[in-house]
Chain A
Amino acid sequence: MTDESATESTALPSAVRGGVLPVVLKVVRVTGWTSITVGLLMLGFVAHQLWVTSFFASRAQAGLETELIERAATTEIVELPFVPGEGVITDGGDGLEPPTIIPSESSGAILAYAPPPAGEPLATIRIPSINGYQSDDSLEWTFVEGVRLTHLKSGAGHMPDTPLPGLPGNAVISGHRTTYGAPFHNLDEVQVGDQIFIDDPVIGTHVYEARSWNDYVAAYPDAASRSAQPLVDGAGVVVHRSALWVTESNEGAWLTLTTCHPKFSSAERLIIFAELVGGPNAAVILSLS
């Protein structure tokens, strides 16, 4: 310490030197360490969300693809009668009366199979018009059966209470937007008319086309009363995170993709409505609907 600073130090009032100054220094030190700790925890959170979750999802993808091929080889395909307006007719189990099937000219058979147990891979979604997250390749992602948090750690999942893709009704697939591989990161870039492929290794590839909100409302006028905000550019529609109505069954065969909106928030949901236009069941469903 120099003589000058020593002079300054002794020049401080005794109350400051004896009581207030040590307290102030302690407060500054504690505040500093607290800020550094909180900062490091926040950085850790960002790193975890962006990289750690995606690492686990990518690792899961490799396993799911192999598992999907193995499961497809052992899955039994059945032909189910299909009646427009009533969806797939099952065999009237559980003690219920067998359903009436409308005469043959207005019914047909579609290919189906029992969904896999929750958490197991179901199919692969491909959207050639958008890229995967931080990738130059178009989106291609194997999704599982189930949409609980544990299932969605692999990125995307099919909602169990909805029909499988390629079947009549409304098949719903939910996926992460910013974490766990973020398969639906660029879902807002899907345009009306873009094709969405569901590669089902059991019965084939189902082809869907993205529809606008107006198309959807035209097909289902009840939707007009729902609160929904179509994106200015794209086929996406933004709804509240509790808007369970988007999962309701529809006539025909639809695919509904759901993800969080906006990015890095779960306040709302971004929805893509798409209609079946091709695939092993499309001819029967489209001709009868």
Chain B
Amino acid sequence: MIKRLFNALPGPLAARILQSLVIVAVLLTALFFFYEWLGSTFLDTGGGFE
């Protein structure tokens, strides 16, 4: 599936690699903030009060 998605990207190989890196970076950043929100909301809010 990953191979198919990669091949579906437009442009030559170099452009597709660059696009892949950008997409991965964006996804990892989104995942980081999702983890932050998840942890701060449900796991350990820091002891403050609602």
Cα A265 to Cα B47 in complex, Å, equals 10
CB proximity to B under 8 Å, residues A208-255: 241-244, 246-247
CB proximity to A under 8 Å, residues B1-50: 1, 31-32, 35-36, 38-50
Cα A242 to Cα B45 in complex, Å, equals 12
Are B49 and A242 in contact (CB-based, < 8 A)? yes
Q: Within the complex, which residue of A33, A41, A44, A178 is in contact with B44, where a contact is CB–CB below 8 Å?
A: A178
Q: Measured between C-beta atoms, what is the minimum distance from A160 to chain B in Å?
A: 11
Q: Within the complex, which residue of B38, B47, B50 is in contact with A242, where a contact is CB–CB below 8 Å?
A: B50
Are B46 and A269 in contact (CB-based, < 8 A)? no
Q: Within the complex, which residue of A45, A48, A175, A264 is in contact with B47, where a contact is CB–CB below 8 Å?
A: A175
Q: Within the complex, which residue of A45, A177, A244, A260 is in contact with B35, where a contact is CB–CB below 8 Å?
A: A45
Q: Measured between C-beta atoms, what is the minimum distance from B24 to chain A in Å?
A: 14
Q: Measured between C-beta atoms, what is the minimum distance from B1 to chain A in Å?
A: 8
Are A149 and B39 in contact (CB-based, < 8 A)? no
Tally of chain A residues near chain B (CB < 8 A) = 39
Are A184 and B47 in contact (CB-based, < 8 A)? yes
Q: Measured between C-beta atoms, what is the minimum distance from B48 to chain A in Å?
A: 5
Q: Measured between C-beta atoms, what is the minimum distance from B23 to chain A in Å?
A: 16
* Nearest-neighbor residue (CB-CB) of A173 within chain B: B47
Are B31 and A266 in contact (CB-based, < 8 A)? no
* A58 interfacial contact with B, CB 8 Å: no
* A129 interfacial contact with B, CB 8 Å: no
- Known contacts A48-B32, A179-B39, A244 near B49 by CB under 8 Å: yes
Cα A179 to Cα B31 in complex, Å, equals 17
Chain B residues with Cβ below 8 Å from A48 are 32, 35-36, 39
Cα A238 to Cα B18 in complex, Å, equals 52
Are A269 and B49 in contact (CB-based, < 8 A)? yes
Are B35 and A266 in contact (CB-based, < 8 A)? no
Chain A residues with Cβ below 8 Å from B49 are 241-244, 246-247, 258, 269
Are B48 and A44 in contact (CB-based, < 8 A)? no
* A107 interfacial contact with B, CB 8 Å: no
Chain A residues with Cβ below 8 Å from B44 are 49, 176-180, 182, 260, 264, 266
> Can you report 25 residue pairs joining A to B where beta carbons are below 8 Å apart?
A48-B32, A48-B36, A53-B39, A147-B47, A147-B48, A148-B48, A149-B40, A149-B45, A152-B46, A152-B47, A152-B48, A156-B46, A174-B46, A175-B47, A176-B47, A182-B44, A184-B47, A243-B49, A258-B48, A259-B47, A264-B43, A266-B43, A266-B45, A269-B47, A269-B49
